[in-house]
Amino acid sequence: MIRLARIDHVGLRVEDLDEAAERWCSQFGLVERSREGEVVRLACDDEPHCLELSAGRGEAVGIEHVAWELHPDCDLDAARAHLEGLGIEVDEDVAGGLTCRDLDGNRIQLLPARARTGVEGYVQHARPAAGVPGAPRKLGHVNFLTGRLKEQTGFYTDALGMKVSDRLEDAGVWLRIDSEHHVMALVDTGAAHPHHLAFEYVDFGHKIAALDHLARHGRWLGWGPVRHGIAGNMASYVRIVEEECFVELFCDMERVPEDHEPRNYPDDRFSSNTWGPLPPRSYFRFDQAAIESERESLETRGVPLAPLE
């Protein structure tokens, strides 16, 4: 048996640790929580951390791992026995947890349950602040592109115990741990690549301030703002050229009951964006041609993006 409690953090491999730490703090309002050797940990508010930056040392930059906190009902031994029982290779992790990989090779870290006592157990607004005004409320979810949606969905439900919230025909699956509609999503584009990490904002007003700030730093949206048909969240996707991913800024995500039955949404424009446009093709790509096309909004101006070789 395995049971997750929540998403803990995303590990990002970066080119230049000092540059990246300063950039994520000044652009997204994160605060630096700790610095040990080649690792810098950043937080949205008063959580221990939500982003773990590590120096690239020549390796590919981008989302390097996603860490999940186990539920108090499930210790590390139980999680290891469960994963090994499914034939999954598990290793000890330097952070005191376990590490394994999904079927696309994305690294997963499992951390022991952490007790929250006293004030730390209160609702966020009743705890002492540690962030800066305007910072995201929390890290909410991650999204990965894949070329084998069915098998990857099986991995996250069987190996990690997530539940399917909804499907977009054969194109996507949204997965949950608790009542929040999703903490993880998989989109089938024919090839594996981490797509985005998502920060939650209080409401659209909070997001406007954040998006204005990001635009003044030269950032642009690859897609959005949109109102997703699936999950209902209002989402805006900021391109992070430096770490080959997007950051989604979202608010107002659907909550589902414990006995929620997965729905199968039609793969149409409305399921993806009740307000209007689907994303340009560049939104699903991380190559230079896609980035340059998106930077100047070329697809919208009638210049198609050449297919990848």
- Residue 152 CA to residue 163 CA, distance in Å, equals 13
Separation of alpha carbons 136 and 107, rounded Å: 25
Nearest approach, Cβ of 71 to Fe ion (angstroms)?
23
Q: How far is the CB of 231 from Fe ion (least distance, A)?
A: 8
**Does 42 sit near Fe ion (CB under 5 A)?**
no
Nearer to Fe ion, 34 or 179 (CB): 179
CA angle 25, 102, 115 (to 5 degrees): 55
Closer to Fe ion by CB, 135 or 230: give it: 230
Query: Is residue 198 close enough to count as binding Fe ion by CB under 5 A?
Result: yes
Which among 265, 267, 307 has a CA at the least distance from the CA of 287? 307
The residue among 80 and 193 lying less far from Fe ion, judged by its C-beta, is 193
The residue among 53 and 198 lying less far from Fe ion, judged by its C-beta, is 198
Round to whole Å and give the CA distance between 113 and 94: 16
In terms of CB distance, is 106 or 143 closer to Fe ion? Answer: 143
248 binds Fe ion (CB under 5 A): yes
Distance CA 23, CA 173 (A): 32
Strands (DSSP E) found in 169-253: 172-176, 184-188, 193-200, 221-227, 234-240, 245-251
215-244 positions binding Fe ion, by CB under 5 A: none
Q: Which stretch binds Fe ion (CB under 5 A): 105-113, 143-151, 210-218, 238-246?
A: 143-151
Percent helix, strand, coil in the chain, to 5, is 20, 35, 45
Distance of closest approach, residue 40 Cβ to Fe ion, in angstroms: 24
Nearest distance from C-beta of residue 142 to Fe ion, angstroms:
8
Q: Is 143 in the site for Fe ion (CB under 5 A)?
A: yes
Residue nearer to Fe ion on the CB measure, 92 or 169? 169
Q: Residue 220 phi/psi, 5° resolution? A: -140, 165
Question: Least CB distance from residue 183 to Fe ion, whole Å?
Answer: 10
Segment contacting Fe ion by CB under 5 A, of 145-153, 163-171, 195-203, 258-266: 195-203
- With CA atoms as reference, report the closest residue to 253 among 140, 137, 123: 140
H-helix or E-strand containing 167? strand 163-168
Among the listed residues 152, 161, 188, 181, the one whose alpha carbon sits nearest the alpha carbon of residue 252: 181
Whichever of 21 and 198 has its CB closer to Fe ion, that residue is 198
Pick between residue 32 and residue 254 the one whose CB is nearest to Fe ion. 254
Residue 180 found at the interface with Fe ion (CB under 5 A): no
Q: How far is the CB of 107 from Fe ion (least distance, A)?
A: 20
If the CB atoms of residues 44 and 76 are measured against Fe ion, the closer one turns out to be 44
State the minimum distance, in angstroms, from the CB of residue 287 to Fe ion: 21
Under 8 Å CB-to-CB from 283, ≥6 apart: which residues? 222, 223, 237, 246, 294
Instruction: Report residue 87: phi and psi, to 5°.
Output: 80, 20
CA distance 161 to 140: 18
Q: Which stretch binds Fe ion (CB under 5 A): 1-9, 123-131, 135-143, 167-175?
A: 135-143
Q: Closest distance between Fe ion and the C-beta of residue 178, in Å?
A: 17
Shortest gap between Cβ of 248 and Fe ion (angstroms)? 5
Number of residues that bind Fe ion (CB under 5 A): 3
Binding site for Fe ion (CB under 5 A): 143, 198, 248
